[in-house]
Structure 1
Amino acid sequence: MSKKPRTVFRPLDGLLLLDKPLGLSSNQALQQVRHLFRAEKAGHTGSLDPLATGLLPVCFGEATKIAGLLLGSRKAYETTAVLGTTTDSDDADGAVLVERPVPELDDAAIEAALAPLRGAIHQRAPIYSALKQGGEPLYAKARRGESIEAPVREVEVHALQLTGREGPRLHLHVECGSGTYVRSLVRDLGETLGCGAHVATLRRLWVDPFAAPRMYTLDELRAIAEQGEASLDACLLPVEEGLAGYPRADLDEEGTRRLGFGQSVRIEGGADGLAVAYGPDGRCLGLVRREDGKLAPQRLFRWAAAAQ
């Protein structure tokens, strides 16, 4: 029996907007994509549970330097909550803990229960989550049957709306900030309604700054790969697409050279804060911080040094 040939990885920079399939962890999906593209370095921005589908931005090469920014970005989801059943993972993949009758609920009652879950709220994470406690993910402790006190954190829920309902199934649209668990929102909604609830389906629609993403499924990417590596690489977005929304700072040759040496650069105008620096050739150099009329390097791409 012949062995599968070993993947020969290559330097590759860019962003892939992956439509993660049902049933795979984010890391499993990442590894499949990494091998398909033969990328030396890859990472994803914001885990999706195996039950979840939708946008998983994958960073190759230098794009991994901005993964943290994307991780903290605003995100949108659509989810289906099933009332009447509580599970240990707060979703359909978990074991049933308790079943309760679902009371008669009109839209006004559901809206009253949704209202306290909007804005800046304190949320208890699911015990089956990737949050670490003592250097170990909570899910690892939960699988061993250990008693867990999941942390409570402040999160931001920008939008939480009922978009439809079918019996005990509620369809919800969620827009939230970093660290928010949709499973926890659904769990808390169910408790407020007095019957419990869990997530049956979850799909991530977008992540800032990719508000209307062209996502690729694994099957699409495999088919494109048959056309050659150039066709596959055409699916990637430039690294700077992940920095859209930040102010732009254009530098001349001397400013580009100084920045490449890791030195601050004087610049006229502009508000203080993070910005994206571009060289005279229009190429993105990386993230800088503008303060007191100077630009200080924050996360520069490797080609910024080559511009010295």
Structure 2
Amino acid sequence: MQQEPYGEVFLINKPLEWTSFDVVKKVRNALRIKKVGHAGTLDPLATGLLIVCAGRKTKSIESYMGQEKEYTGVFVIGKTTESFDLEHPVIEVADASAITLDQVKAAAAELTGDILQIPPMHSAIKVDGKRVYEAARKGHEVKMDPRPVSVSTFEITKFENPEVHFRIICSKGTYIRSLARDLGDILGVGAYMSALCRTRIGEHSLEQAEELDLLIQKIKERRDENI
């Protein structure tokens, strides 16, 4: 009888400072197969749910990428950075001490629904066949056209000026760093993202995810049993 081709989906809590590709490489090496990929990049300074598909399940990657995403995290107002997160030095913009919770909620409401969003320069989007972050690293400006995205929920869960704690539910292609920038622009004081965690992709939640080290250990133990 012909053996069914191998295929598996892993829900992983991506560690801080790891790239999504680092996680894929770790799983690929443990499985000892080439066909492994992830369903939606998380930046190195973000944590949370990363879906990794292996073998024949890599055909499902696009379907996972198209699903709704949920994030929690923190924006800091009154300052910004070149990348709108902590990958670049913090720049003072304006005194945000007078900003109120009502103002922050009103700004978040403006960024809720179907909106047009300009991706950050430090992103993996391609313009004219080249990654825009490569141009950004060389100090070159690239014209970025606004893209339609949908933000169904932009909830302010806590406000301790200058920190804005949030929960966001959004469509594929939404950049949370761009929402930080746009929130800061609406408030007139600038903003950047200091923390981000992806808590859900479609019906899959972070609570279902495994820690990477434990998962790798399980894969190796299972592999050794089958030798």
In the alignment, does 2:186 pair up with 1:198? no
- Counterpart position of 1:133: 127
Q: Determine which of 59, 62, 67 is the counterpart of 1:65.
A: 59
Give the superposition deviation at 1:12.
Answer: 3.2
Which deviations, in whole Å up to 9, do the C-alpha atoms of 1:265-289 show, x marking residues without a partner?
xxxxxxxxxxxxxxxxxxxxxxxxx
Q: Determine which of 151, 164, 168 is the counterpart of 2:162.
A: 168
Q: Which amino acid aligns with 2:190?
A: G
Contact 2:20 2:44 (8 Å CA) reproduced:
yes
Give the superposition deviation at 1:223.
Answer: 3.6
- The aligned runs of 1:113-262 (5 Å cut-off) are 113-211=107-205, 213-225=207-219, 227-229=221-223
Contact 1:162 1:171 (8 Å CA) reproduced:
yes
Give the superposition deviation at 1:151.
Answer: 2.5
Q: Distance in 2 between matches of 1:194 and 1:88?
A: 17
Q: Which amino acid aligns with 1:181?
A: Y
Q: Secondary structure at the match of 1:70?
A: helix
In the alignment, does 2:107 pair up with 1:109? no
- Counterpart position of 1:84: 78
Which deviations, in whole Å up to 9, do the C-alpha atoms of 1:91-118 show, x marking residues without a partner?
0112334432114222211111111100
In the alignment, does 2:88 pair up with 1:94? yes
Q: Secondary structure at the match of 1:228?
A: helix
Contact 1:103 1:195 (8 Å CA) reproduced:
no
Structure 1 stretch 218-227 or stretch 121-130: which is displaced more?
Answer: 218-227
Give the superposition deviation at 1:181.
Answer: 0.4
Q: Distance in 2 between matches of 1:29 and 1:16?
A: 11
- Counterpart position of 1:283: none
Moved over 4 A (4+): none
Structure 1: give runs of 5+ residues left out of the alignment: 1-10, 233-308
Q: Distance in 2 between matches of 1:196 and 1:49?
A: 21
Structure 2: give runs of 5+ residues left out of the alignment: none
**Change over 3 Å in CA distance of 1:225–1:15 after alignment to 2:** closer
Q: Secondary structure at the match of 2:40?
A: coil
Q: What is the root-mean-square deviation of aligned Cα atoms in Å?
A: 1.9
Q: Distance in 2 between matches of 1:231 and 1:162?
A: 49
In the alignment, does 2:37 pair up with 1:50? no
Number of matched residues? 222
**Change over 3 Å in CA distance of 1:131–1:226 after alignment to 2:** closer
- The aligned runs of 1:247-286 (5 Å cut-off) are none
Q: Distance in 1 between matches of 2:73 and 2:158?
A: 11
Which structure has more RCO (C-alpha within 8 Å, separation ≥ 6)? 2
Which deviations, in whole Å up to 9, do the C-alpha atoms of 1:227-255 show, x marking residues without a partner?
433789xxxxxxxxxxxxxxxxxxxxxxx
Which deviations, in whole Å up to 9, do the C-alpha atoms of 1:128-159 show, x marking residues without a partner?
00100111111111111111222210100010
Give the superposition deviation at 1:171.
Answer: 0.5
- Counterpart position of 2:27: 33
Tell me the TM-score normalized by structure 2.
0.91
